[in-house]
Structure 1
Amino acid sequence: MTLRMYTERDLEKIRKHGLSDAEAYRQAELFTRPPVYADLLRPCTPGDGIRQLDEETFDRLVSRGARSMASGRFLKFVPASGRASRMFAALHALRGRRSPPSAEELAEAETCFKSLSKFAFHDELKRAMKRAGLNADKLAAENRYAEIAEHLLGPQGLNYADIPKALISFHQTGEGSRTAFEEHLIEASQVVRAKDGACRLHFTVPHGYLDRFEDLLEETAPKHEKRLGARFEVSFSAQKRSTDTIVVGPDNEPFRPKDDELLFWAGGHGALLENLNALRADILFIKNIDNVVTDRLKESAGRHKLALAGLLLETQEKLFDLLSRIYSKAADQTVIDEAMRYAEKHLLIPRPADWDSLPREAHRTFLIERLDRPIRVCGMVPNAGEPGGGPFWTRGKEGVSMQIVERAQVAPAEEQRALFASATHFNPVDIVCGLKDYLDESFDLERFRDPDAVLVSEKMWEGRPIRILEHPGLWNGGMARWLTLFVEMPAWTFQPVKTLADLLKEGHQG
């Protein structure tokens, strides 16, 4: 690639989209680089990177988290931009939109439609089909699945193929159905509710859907607030267009859908780091939109989240004390030694090999650089084969550290693939973050990402091959230089909905 790869007209479009010329050329260069893979050393396991909390410690941390929750320091952050298209992959084939359904897809569709009445959207679907003169239950009994799929996914029915997953009815209750969005509101009353009842939440939503989210909030929040004695303070943002990336073809030249056009692609969930940064939050909970539990599990699930917060707060309290003393010019070797011991034992930061030969000022500089950072406490559940990342010891520019690694970040070498497959735990995205420093000022989170941890993948666009670039994942490269603690959580706290059939599992029924 040369600097002539973009025409002046290209650059005008790039600037109008919110990207600088420098960013456009940086992205172009990233396509030409060899892949940057995570260097896995071993999985994090209980006793080697993953903490297991005994009952006494758990109760203490829950109490600590609850006290700070009451003070109003907490905010819940929910990435809710994703559409539900992949959730219905098995049903799309029934609509004749692509190749004929496979045996596996037919089996999943049959499982779902034979249990149609168990879905929270059952009554909505029946009403939509009745308007078209069809009986959903009768069609299901006759194995006429294509017509049901068309009304479930298409615009003449519920249009679930094209709306965000947040707006889909997930759970059935005695009061009616609830969307994933509503379940996050209700869960917030267990996790971020201040003494005055305020529950602060922020959702990232796809462009063009803000009105739908605001309407749903206005429609549903009052009844939940009345029942819970809570008050929801909800804000929204969209992934910034300036975080989109420029698509290239197989030759790494700009892909042009038509003459003189460029194609931009959403930069993945790592682009949400800008949204996170803009919040200037204090203690922030991150959880994916599709990971919600029914009412019978909410109180217990909330206690586990408060335990994560309690551990973060205890860690912050000790770190802030140490940092205030280290930053003092009067910091003596006693303080330095105490801080290094804490970093090794509690934060699992290895002591530099040449530590003993370094002068005190070098010790002080190292500790300030390594400890004055955002903190994240990440719940980890036992690995049950779900798609996604896990906790690993890795080697990087700063030496050995604990990271959350996705499969796409792993080198194709057999040894690295085997290490990834040997993980005992899985990342459910149940994370509590401390976003302020010891002076109560907000960190600039961009400083603590790994800009090289991008993902390049191949896709098709209207039958033509393209290459796309995603920013470092929000909890992967986006938080690569954060202080990190991993804590084991019970498997039942993780109830993702990646396929329609997942809503039939015990965690989403009853």
Structure 2
Amino acid sequence: MEQNITKQQTGTINVAIYSNTAQTDLANKLLQFIAPDGREAREFAFEVKSLNAAINSQDALSIIFEHTNDNEAKKVAQFFENNGLPHIIAVSDEINETAKNIILSLEKALDSGFTVADFIQIYNQGTSIDALRRQLTIFRNGLSRITLEKPALLNDGICPIDEEKAIDHAAYFDSKKDNFKLKKFVPASGAASRMFKFACTFIAEYNPAKETINAYINRRGDTALSVFLVGIDKLPFYNEVLAVMKTHPDYNTWDKNLRYYNFIKTMLGSGEFDFANKPKGILPFHQYEGFTATPVYEHLKEAVAYAASQGKTNVHFTISEEHVDGFLDAIKAVKSNIEASSGISINFNFSYQHKQTDTLAVDLNNNPFRTDTGELLFRPGGHGALIENLNNLDADIVFIKNIDNVSHNNIEVIALYKKALAGMLIKLQEKIFGYLEIIDGGHLTDAQLNSMFAFVKNELSVQIPDDVAKYTKGYRIDYIKDLLNRPLRVCGMVKNEGEPGGGPFWIKGEQGRLSLQIVESSQIDLQNPAQKQIFEKSEFFNPVDLVCGLKNYKGEYFDLHEYVDNSTGFIVYKNKYGKDLKSYELPGLWNGAMARWLTVFAEVPLATFNPVKTVNDLLKPAHQPK
């Protein structure tokens, strides 16, 4: 195959392209495509090779083009992998265009201070260089805090729903649900390490030979451990852990201190239980007659109660890939029984947090943080990365609820208010879609246009700037269409009883316009007395209880990426290898990732919110048998 190699110079980067179908003049085309910008004294040398050509281990980068069922390319790639040679694999039939895009990205990476080795890592990560550039800019410039205008309150951003209204909305949902594909979306990748944090600390620091447990509790002021021990026999896993403990040959010689100590040690040990290292979703949460239920069981039971249409329900869990077997076992153990008792067929599937949504870590000087082997460090982008998973769902209406928010006893009220939120969403969607179809039909009267603006203001809580009324009719039509043609979410809000987390607020956004948003305390400047006062006046809390409409009035899916406010992420401080670092977390899924959605808040009862943040929460009435 024809070769084209530029004159070798100190700054030359040798790039080999392996393909049996590349055009012979590809090297020349790439050279013509490269336009030096004067920022770097570098040149490229391109060589196009067939897959059976000799491999030059001195090439800075090799691009191996792989096609469907291309075993020869796979063998070449495996040789490079086995010998640690720098390469990337491009799966594409558009070789010329793909090669150009790769080289353009490589140039951007080098211009940004990354090395060729960094570029290979970034490419394999699936992250764009432009995204990394934006992250580095955020680290350098920081993120502006959100400006609170006022808390959202009943009839001022939050719709009250008494039981009568809830029944009406739920009945409307039941009358319409078979027209929609419904799905329940459960973020479930969270590990249980925080749930057992005080217990792990106890095992690490308590010495039964030197003090009693009471002495330890008093010395450390460990009220969590005290509550745990008082209610220990009410925990859903008590009998199982106790049974394993009793197999120990010294069990009968242990006093109360040693029995408590060994109970916790067995519960956390790497043997049968290992609770702190498992995901919450597959832990025992509730004790029923004859079996112990996991959150997975409770979510499937909820799904058939309120997220079923046409005789089936669809449940999607986002999990960590290493835990897939545990979730499969938990689902298979209960699925058939729930289907038999409900008459509803359950379909389930999983997705993982995409690797390309991980974000770059930097040191305290805002330079890329390096591992001990010199590689870049990427960290998970937080739950905001799940907008990617949500964007890929095949569903009309999606119910979102966290994995640990389940109840032993409150299924009836939970189902009623979930259906009520969905009924509200369908009613609003029908109005929105009707308005958009009228706009598309043309011949919109002034009265109809004014009605649309009143609807947006009164029912969707969207502030309309005063000067819009002064614009031409054509401009006002375009303006209202842009406002209406967005994804819609109806979010349940509960009375704030001191739970840590975000809440509903009116905030000042672009051009000073007010909008309803779910805001976390970390996004607010609490050193500002005025902002702190507004935050403390909030009466409601976000329980993560959302119903979402993912399609537009034409039945097409929205691209959810278009409605993310990328300025609302989080910078967090961590430590790795004993070194401080900064990491960027993407805008939260129900925070900035949905900032530009149409948003409606509605009050739901506290009985619908039963999170398990620590193991002691399992002792609360919502998690105990009646």
Under a length normalisation based on structure 1, what TM-score does the superposition of the two structures give?
0.95
Inter-partner Cα distance in structure 2 for 1:61 and 1:85: 39
What corresponds to 1:150 in structure 2? 265
What corresponds to 2:619 in structure 1? 504
| Correspondence for 2:225 among 109, 112, 117 | 109
User: Which one-letter code corresponds to 1:152 in the other structure?
Assistant: M
| Correspondence for 2:175 among 64, 67, 70 | 67
What corresponds to 1:218 in structure 2? 332
What corresponds to 1:375 in structure 2? 488
| Correspondence for 2:385 among 261, 271, 284 | 271
Inter-partner Cα distance in structure 1 for 2:423 and 2:222: 46
Cα pair 1:75 1:281 within 8 Å, conserved: yes
1:66 Cα deviation after fit: 1.7
Tell me, yes or no, if structure 1 residue 77 matches structure 2 residue 185: yes
Distance 1:372 1:97, change over 3 A: farther
1:281 Cα deviation after fit: 1.8
1:241 Cα deviation after fit: 0.5
Alpha-carbon displacement from aligned partner over 1:314-355 (angstroms, at most 9, x marks no partner): 000111101111223322322211101111111111222112
Cα pair 1:454 1:470 within 8 Å, conserved: yes
| Correspondence for 1:9 among 114, 117, 130 | 117
Distance 1:102 1:375, change over 3 A: farther
1:507 Cα deviation after fit: 0.9
What corresponds to 1:364 in structure 2? 477
Cα pair 1:320 1:438 within 8 Å, conserved: yes
Inter-partner Cα distance in structure 1 for 2:218 and 2:345: 47
Tell me, yes or no, if structure 1 residue 299 matches structure 2 residue 415: no
What corresponds to 1:176 in structure 2? 291
Distance 1:360 1:68, change over 3 A: same
Matches within 5 A, 1:374-413: 374-397=487-510, 399-411=513-525, 412-413=527-528
- Secondary structure in structure 2 of the residue aligned to 1:354: helix
User: Which one-letter code corresponds to 1:314 in the other structure?
Assistant: K
| Correspondence for 2:464 among 351, 354, 359 | 351
- Secondary structure in structure 1 of the residue aligned to 2:574: strand
Tell me, yes or no, if structure 1 residue 42 matches structure 2 residue 150: yes
Tell me, yes or no, if structure 1 residue 326 matches structure 2 residue 439: yes
Matches within 5 A, 1:467-506: 467-506=582-621
Pick which of 104-113 and 242-251 moved more: 104-113
| Correspondence for 2:347 among 233, 251, 271 | 233
Cα pair 1:129 1:157 within 8 Å, conserved: no
RMSD: 2.2
What corresponds to 2:198 in structure 1? 90
- Secondary structure in structure 2 of the residue aligned to 1:408: helix
Tell me, yes or no, if structure 1 residue 313 matches structure 2 residue 421: no
Distance 1:81 1:367, change over 3 A: same
1:97 Cα deviation after fit: 7.1
1:154 Cα deviation after fit: 2.3
- Secondary structure in structure 2 of the residue aligned to 1:252: coil
Inter-partner Cα distance in structure 1 for 2:461 and 2:254: 58
- Secondary structure in structure 2 of the residue aligned to 1:279: coil
Tell me, yes or no, if structure 1 residue 209 matches structure 2 residue 317: no
Structure whose CA Rg is larger: 2
Cα pair 1:81 1:206 within 8 Å, conserved: yes
What corresponds to 1:192 in structure 2? 307
Pick which of 155-164 and 39-48 moved more: 155-164
Inter-partner Cα distance in structure 2 for 1:65 and 1:191: 10
Alpha-carbon displacement from aligned partner over 1:138-170 (angstroms, at most 9, x marks no partner): 969436544322221221241111111101110
Pick which of 374-383 and 319-328 moved more: 319-328
- Secondary structure in structure 1 of the residue aligned to 2:612: coil
Alpha-carbon displacement from aligned partner over 1:94-119 (angstroms, at most 9, x marks no partner): 12179998856632112212322211
Inter-partner Cα distance in structure 1 for 2:228 and 2:273: 16
Cα pair 2:413 2:607 within 8 Å, conserved: no
Cα pair 1:377 1:432 within 8 Å, conserved: yes
Cα pair 1:247 1:469 within 8 Å, conserved: yes
Tell me, yes or no, if structure 1 residue 419 matches structure 2 residue 570: no
What corresponds to 1:342 in structure 2? 455
User: Which one-letter code corresponds to 1:124 in the other structure?
Assistant: E
- Secondary structure in structure 1 of the residue aligned to 2:398: strand
User: Which one-letter code corresponds to 2:595 in the other structure?
Assistant: A
1:89 Cα deviation after fit: 1.1
Inter-partner Cα distance in structure 2 for 1:4 and 1:98: 50
1:132 Cα deviation after fit: 4.4
Inter-partner Cα distance in structure 2 for 1:285 and 1:34: 34
- Secondary structure in structure 1 of the residue aligned to 2:466: coil
- Secondary structure in structure 2 of the residue aligned to 1:156: coil
| Correspondence for 2:159 among 34, 51, 59 | 51
1:224 Cα deviation after fit: 2.0
Distance 1:119 1:308, change over 3 A: same
1:71 Cα deviation after fit: 4.3
Inter-partner Cα distance in structure 2 for 1:285 and 1:153: 33
- Secondary structure in structure 2 of the residue aligned to 1:209: helix
Alpha-carbon displacement from aligned partner over 1:177-197 (angstroms, at most 9, x marks no partner): 00111110011111112242x
Inter-partner Cα distance in structure 2 for 1:14 and 1:107: 46
Cα pair 2:245 2:262 within 8 Å, conserved: no
What corresponds to 2:78 in structure 1? none
Pick which of 359-368 and 416-425 moved more: 416-425
Inter-partner Cα distance in structure 1 for 2:469 and 2:445: 15
1:210 Cα deviation after fit: 1.2
Cα pair 2:110 2:116 within 8 Å, conserved: no
1:268 Cα deviation after fit: 0.3
1:23 Cα deviation after fit: 1.6
What corresponds to 1:283 in structure 2? 397
Aligned length: 507
- Secondary structure in structure 2 of the residue aligned to 1:30: helix
Inter-partner Cα distance in structure 2 for 1:441 and 1:109: 52
Alpha-carbon displacement from aligned partner over 1:257-292 (angstroms, at most 9, x marks no partner): 214122211100000000000013211100000000
Alpha-carbon displacement from aligned partner over 1:208-235 (angstroms, at most 9, x marks no partner): 1112211221222112222222221001
1:205 Cα deviation after fit: 0.4
| Correspondence for 1:257 among 358, 371, 386 | 371
User: Which one-letter code corresponds to 1:190 in the other structure?
Assistant: A
Inter-partner Cα distance in structure 2 for 1:453 and 1:317: 31
Alpha-carbon displacement from aligned partner over 1:402-444 (angstroms, at most 9, x marks no partner): 0000011112322212211211000000110111111111111
Distance 1:140 1:16, change over 3 A: farther
Distance 1:139 1:461, change over 3 A: farther
Pick which of 249-258 and 384-393 moved more: 249-258
Structure 1 gaps of 5+ residues are none
